[in-house]
Copies of this chain bind each other. A is one copy, B any other.
Amino acid sequence: MPTDRLSTTLSALADPTRRAILARLARGEASVKELAEPFAMSLPAVSKHLKVLQRAGLISQGRAAQWRPCRLEGAPLRDLAAWLENYRRFWDQSLDRLDAYLKKLQQGDPNGSRN
């Protein structure tokens, strides 16, 4: 089981159903019942996913007695984005290389077309 915060975030996100739940909550708050609807899942199964997301701080749940809406919390995603920034040059570089390669191809084009 991961214990550091970033591992907990990544582990919570490493599931397509949980990412689908976040995608739904990105459109606005929703009750557990509303979140369960698009999935062929029982309420307890969805609740289990919600607990994982909640423990990771990715969602919070309102205290209104009847309708306890879930909402997305951005802070763990911000921290993940900050960590990813350290590696940006590894994909920007690939784009640079692709760009250089495409330019080379264009220059070597026998028709000399440059559109």
**A residues in contact (CB < 8 Å) with B:** 2, 4, 6-8, 10-11, 13-16, 19, 22-23, 26, 72-75, 77-78, 80-81, 83-84, 86-88, 90-91, 93-94
Contact = CB atoms under 8 A, between A and B. Distances in A.
Contact of A22 (B4, B10, B73, B87): B87
Contacts of A72: 87, 90
| Majority secondary structure, A binding face | helix
- Identify the 8 closest CB pairs spanning chains A and B, nearest first: A74-B90, A78-B91, A10-B14, A74-B91, A11-B14, A7-B14, A10-B13, A77-B87
9 contacts: A7-B16, A8-B14, A19-B83, A22-B87, A26-B87, A26-B90, A77-B87, A78-B94, A81-B81
